[in-house]
A and B are shown apart, each in its own frame.
Chain A
Amino acid sequence: MVVLNKDNFEAEVLKSDQLVMVDFWTETCDKCMEIMPDVVALSEQYADKMKFCKLDIKGNRRLAMAQKVMGLPSMVFYKNGESIAKVSGEDLEKSDIEDKIKELI
């Protein structure tokens, strides 16, 4: 997964010609840490279909908020520079993310 920050967000996500999923996370969010291995597994499974990135909101809070993310964990999908879908919340399951991936690829 591509590690995002303020400097590469635009190039890696908004300017990408692929479908991109961004995992918004941070270390103090237990659910984020819990679901991370599932997200990594999905990023390997669907590696040839789309691009997977992650953004630690620590130090990047304003960037996340500019992306309309104000709750963790959040998986936001981008295409052609636009956010097209989001799944989020404490009750997020691997299957919720995978269903969304299948719907969009």
Chain B
Amino acid sequence: MVYDVLIIGGGTAGLTAGVYCARAKQKTLLLEEKRKVGGQAATTSELENWPGITHIAGPDLMQNFRDHAEKFGVEIKKGKVSSLKVSEDGFTKIVTTKEGEEYQAKAVIIGTGAEPRILGIKGEKEFKGAGVSYCATCDASFYEELHVVVVGSGNTAVEESIFLTKFVDKLTMIVIHDEGTMDADKVAQEKALENEKINFVWNSTVDEICGDDLVNGVKVKNIKTGEITKIDCDGVFMFVGTVPKTDFVKGLVDLTPAGYVKTTEMMETNVPGVYAAGDVRDKFLRQVVTAAGDGATAAVAAEKYIEEEENWQEKVLSRKGETIVVFWSPIKKESVALTTELENALKDNADVNLVKIDGYKNNLISRRYNITALPTVIKINDGKEVERASNPSSLDDVKFV
């Protein structure tokens, strides 16, 4: 069976794309590597910037996303995608999972998101699960009445710090910027600055995580003076940004040097019919709300791609003999006049197949055939272009008809 759209990743972008695909009656499969969908938002303790809802727990919001997608018929399966290939005809996409399953789809939306960055400092790997953590909701309860260090100053770092103060006695944030500067939004910053349990160490990075069996401190380096200070603590939470999960598409899809997927405004990658949405994409702002926007755009773009591509395959490429294609615009007078002339000229000729393509709506095919002016008339024989007339003023300029 071939799905219309296959979505890789069940975070905000993927689930939103699912809602839009399913509502457009596309047969949609969503593959999520974890048993529980929801992506990074589902590991966020509290969300206060999803418009219309002033306050909600991340897991609750994402359960709503899942219910919404399933209500409209998105099929959700567990599977970690290990490869994405395009068939020779360019239309069928083949997705293989680590578990060995293979799926086929006409369009693919990559919404694999990003995962917490590992800094690779001394002690980080050694003390993972023994005082080094990347997930506040998972590990907060270990640190009741203790002192923890948080590395980072973005929204995640600040919001998770505020959450952690419900458990810990003392929390020290290590911030790389000058005093008073954080990457998080102003509301989050103010909350952190007002919180009596939170202390700040500015202009600093963590150089090493120390301990014997469990973490007992960090060595903090002041980036301005180079001075290294040891801070005693019982745990370290690392929130120093994220890295995209794109290893499985390397070599097929164009990526930035940092590994994010390059897309157009319509979420198109360099591979026709393959889209990317959400945090995995090279973009300005990575938030639940922008991921949802990406998902909707990718879904509608994918639906249009399938429609255009199938129409072109059926009416043009699969036809034997001569096909005349007119790329036209129904709102331009000259375009309409020429199209009518063509229809009249060819109406008694059963050997020639006339196809009208709206050049604006069929953006993909227009671009593929390098249509720079409307109308343009192209003659196609057995699926191959043989002649064209660009912007003819009348049928007389189209010599091959």
Contacts and interface: CB of A to CB of B under 8 A. Distances in A.
Are A and B subunits of one complex? yes
B142 A57 contact: yes
B142 A29 contact: no
A91 B135 CA distance: 11
B42 A30 contact: yes
B141 interface: yes
Interface string A83-96: 00010111100000
A30 B138 contact: yes
Contacts of B333: none
B34 A34 contact: yes
A17 B372 CA distance: 79
B186 to A, nearest CB: 29
A91 B128 CA distance: 11
A18 to B, nearest CB: 23
A69 B36 contact: no
B137 A30 contact: yes
Interface string A25-39: 010111110110100
Interface in A1-45: 26, 28-32, 34-35, 37
A35 B134 CA distance: 18
B214 A70 contact: yes
Contacts of B35: 34-35, 37
A49 to B, nearest CB: 24
A74 B43 CA distance: 18
B139 A70 contact: yes
A61 B167 CA distance: 13
A61 B130 contact: no
Given A30-B36, A34-B36, A70-B215, A88 B128 contact: yes
Instruction: Choose among A64, A68, A88 the residue with the greatest number of B CB atoms under 10 Å from its CB.
Output: A68
Contacts of A88: 128-129
Contacts of A31: 135, 138
A58 B141 contact: yes
A12 B132 CA distance: 28
A72 interface: yes
Contacts, number: 70
B131 interface: yes
Contacts of B142: 57, 61, 64-65, 70-72
B213 A90 contact: no
Interface in B135-155: 135, 137-139, 141-142, 144
Given A86-B129, A91-B115, A71 B138 contact: yes
B59 interface: yes
Interface in B31-90: 34-36, 42-43, 59
B133 interface: yes
- Most chain B beta carbons < 10 A, residue from A29, A30, A65, A88: A30
A42 to B, nearest CB: 15
A57 B128 contact: no
B137 A71 contact: no
Contacts of B215: 70
A31 B42 CA distance: 11
B18 interface: no
A70 B131 contact: yes
A68 B235 CA distance: 12
B297 to A, nearest CB: 29
B100 to A, nearest CB: 13
A94 B17 CA distance: 29
B138 A69 contact: no
A61 B138 contact: no
A58 B134 CA distance: 20
Contact of A71 (B115, B133, B234): B133
Contacts of A65: 142, 214
A55 B199 CA distance: 34
A70 B138 contact: no
Contacts of B129: 69-72, 74, 86, 88-89
Nearest to B142: A70
Contacts of A90: 43, 134-135, 138
A59 B311 CA distance: 64
The 7 closest A-B pairs by CB, nearest first: A88-B129, A71-B129, A68-B213, A34-B35, A29-B138, A70-B131, A70-B142
Given A29-B138, A90-B135, 15 more contacts: A30-B59, A31-B135, A34-B36, A61-B142, A68-B213, A70-B129, A70-B130, A70-B234, A71-B130, A71-B133, A71-B142, A72-B129, A72-B142, A89-B128, A91-B115
14 contacts: A31-B135, A31-B138, A34-B35, A37-B35, A70-B129, A70-B130, A70-B133, A70-B139, A70-B214, A71-B129, A71-B132, A71-B138, A72-B142, A90-B138
